[in-house]
Chain A
Amino acid sequence: MSHFPPDATGLFVFGATHRTTPIEVREKLSLPAPTAEHLHADLARIAGLREYAVLNTCNRIEFYGVADTPDAAAKVQAAFCQRQQFAEEEFAKYRTSLNGPAAVQHLFEVAAGIDSQLVGETEILGQVKGAYAAAQARRSTGPVLNRVFQKTFQAAKHVRSSTAITEGQVSIANVAVELAYNIFGRLEATRVLLLGAGDIGEKTAKAFRSRGAGSLTVSSRSMERAMALASELDAQALPFEHRAEHLAQFDVVVCSTSAPEAVVLAADVRTAMRGRASRPLFLIDLALPRDVEAEVSKLENVYLYNLDDLAKIAEENRAAREAEIAKCRQIINERASALWKQVESQVTGGPNRTAPPIQPDQEAR
């Protein structure tokens, strides 16, 4: 067993995240449900491990615990590596560990989304809540982790409501959906046409579908492919050669064909707009070479965005979120320090029993 971590009594966290661990390693470290069950049985038998919870997402595997003995955290790591059949020495290369107030601060930052790969994403809070609920169900949490996790949820909500960390979409597909909201307000009555069966077009169509778009139609140069994708997306299929004559029926057109020339012509759009009264048309051109003639953007009530336009907006949003991190950290610092003062005595059994802090194996931030 590798030497890990020295004097790790009290509150600790260790694990591997997207910050230090490449995706091919994270794939190997990810805990499938059956293995997780066995691992929990192993952890429950570790002497000196008073409380624990496991956060297992596609971007991180982290163990939060309260240890009464210096070797408890090391035993958790050993049990994990054994179950995953992963060499401990290898795991130590990617591992990040923190303890005491730094562990609290870390959990706050994770839950608030500022430690996420897509800064400010909101899914992580649900995952942290899920991890805590699972730990509670196993009765592996106690007074310390219960308080830490509950305060974590409050802190995460406060950070989100008082900063702009979650504002603006940062993926191409979500930026496209956000733009549609800016045009149509609600998507329930919006009819979406997907031209082409490219991967990014499919993702965008799925984003529209998941946000409640009224109807989805797929049209591809290969009718067979269009029907397969339509079946997958619970959509209708439209023969590609009929796209122009049906254009007026759609509010959003997502283009991602690999056609060498434009497949949506300005003349077709002009004709379609005559049949749409004052209802706008949103064209999303995700293809290279482009699928929509550029002069379409000059037509009244027509809004054309290509891949570069969407990427630029996503990048601006990402930069805006990054700029909010300092403000988030300040809020989290204050709350984490206050919480640590409340739980310190429970963690260590009193201020005089505070263990020396463990230095992070790797600088996480």
Chain B
Amino acid sequence: MFANFADRTWLWLAAEFYLVGFLLGTWSLLRGGKPLNVATYFLIVAGYVMQLTGLYLRGLAVGGCPLGNTFELFQFTAWSAISLYLVVGVTFRTSLLGYFTSCLAAVLTLVSLAIPAWDSTRSSGIFGNNPWIEFHAALALFSYGVFGLLALTALMLQLRNYSLKNKRIGGWFSFLPSLFDLDQISGRLLVFGVVLLTAALTVGSVHWVQNTATVHWPKLLTTVSVWACYAIALVLRIRGQLGARRFAWTAIILFTLALLTLGVVDANRRNPATPAASRK
């Protein structure tokens, strides 16, 4: 039965698993329980495997990394965030991080699936059979996943700050990690994301200097702007000029802007649009 599933079917299933995981966590929280228990963790892992399957099938159909339209960019970003969560989650008190990550993944995947226009056409030959460009694109998108997770830990930091300032430490606030831990992990995610995006842009720039006409200026400008904003945030943080709360707001706002730039990146594909990849 599963063998006949199309890539989008797997991706729908993944989105639903993420959503059910998020709803189950919400229900558990409302009942005074932990937001992430064995059941919700299983749902996230199962959703991740299904999304991986869907992206793999899409990749086989298009003959490369599936990053050819806005739908695929959103899917890949959500998958990157979940990948990183599954790594980070085991070393960190992440009951609420898992909950928020399932929420982010559910939103990104469901929105991308709910807007058919995002997947009605896809750019072909965007990597020009050059594996380095494909690597550049995948790395850049993965860094967006890292920044997505950073936005979540920043949101948790804001909530922890609110709970401590307003003397509300019981209820579901008790599942938040400490302020210091959240600040530390956010800082590490920022470093990791900036390193990945820097590497991605470096790889991309090698190709770009050889043929500057291959990349549209809006895409170049937005991508470099996103990198510059995160790099500036990192420098300010290292110099102690960005307090925890301001840093958290910066991370949330920057990720929102970074998501908006995905549309610009996709809209500036140079090659003519072609019908979307296989739909079984």
List residues of chain A with CB under 8 Å of any chain B CB: 164, 167-168, 178-179, 181-185, 277-280, 297, 300-301, 303, 305, 309, 312-313, 316-317, 320
Contacts and interface: CB of A to CB of B under 8 A. Distances in A.
Contacts of B176: 182
Contacts, number: 56
Contact of A300 (B169, B181, B243): B243
B176 to A, nearest CB: 8
Given A182-B176, A183-B178, A313-B169, 9 more contacts: A168-B174, A181-B178, A182-B178, A182-B179, A184-B178, A185-B179, A278-B237, A280-B180, A313-B170
Interface string B208-246: 000000000000000000000000000001001011110
B244 A278 contact: yes
B240 A182 contact: no
B169 A303 contact: no
B169 A182 contact: yes
Nearest to B183: A278
A271 to B, nearest CB: 15
B244 to A, nearest CB: 5
A181 B163 CA distance: 13
Contacts of B170: 168, 313, 316-317, 320
B280 interface: no
7 contacts: A167-B174, A183-B178, A185-B177, A279-B180, A303-B165, A312-B167, A313-B170
B160, B164, B242 pick with most chain A CB within 10 angstroms: B164
A164 B164 contact: no
Contacts of A301: 243-245
Nearest to B245: A300
Given A301-B243, A301-B245, A313 B180 contact: no
Nearest to A323: B32
A57 B243 CA distance: 49
B237 to A, nearest CB: 8
Given A179-B164, A297-B165, A305-B167, A185 B181 contact: yes
B76 interface: no
B85 interface: no
Given A184-B178, A313-B169, A164 B160 contact: no
A168 B237 CA distance: 34
**Range of interface residues on chain B?**
20 to 34
Contacts of B244: 278, 280, 301
B100 interface: no
Nearest to A310: B167
Interface string B64-95: 00000000000000000000000000000000
Contacts of B237: 278
Nearest to B242: A278
Nearest to A319: B170
Nearest to A279: B180
B12 interface: no
A184 B183 CA distance: 10
B251 to A, nearest CB: 13
Nearest to B167: A309
Nearest to B33: A164
B92 to A, nearest CB: 10
Contacts of B247: 278
Interface in B129-174: 160, 163-165, 167, 169-170, 174
Contacts of B179: 182-185, 280
Contacts of A182: 160, 163-164, 169, 176, 178-179
Interface in B231-280: 237, 240, 242-245, 247
Contacts of A167: 174
Nearest to A189: B180
A167 B32 CA distance: 12
A130 B181 CA distance: 37
Nearest to A273: B243
Contacts of B242: 278
Contacts of A305: 167
A312 B170 CA distance: 11
Contacts of A300: 243, 245
Nearest to B239: A277
Nearest to B179: A183
Contacts of A312: 167
B78 to A, nearest CB: 29
A185 B178 contact: yes
Contacts of B32: 164
B169 A185 contact: no
A77 B173 CA distance: 50
Nearest to A298: B165
A280 B242 CA distance: 13
B254 to A, nearest CB: 18
Nearest to B163: A182
Contacts of B164: 179, 182-183, 303
The 10 A-B pairs with the shortest beta carbon distances in the complex, nearest first, are A185-B178, A277-B240, A185-B181, A185-B180, A184-B180, A278-B244, A303-B164, A183-B179, A309-B167, A182-B178
A315 to B, nearest CB: 11
A182 B162 CA distance: 12
A181 B169 CA distance: 11
A185 B179 CA distance: 7
Contacts of B183: 278
Given A278-B244, A278-B247, A183 B167 contact: no
Nearest to A276: B240
A183 B169 contact: no
Contacts of A185: 177-181
Contacts of B243: 278, 300-301
Contacts of A320: 170
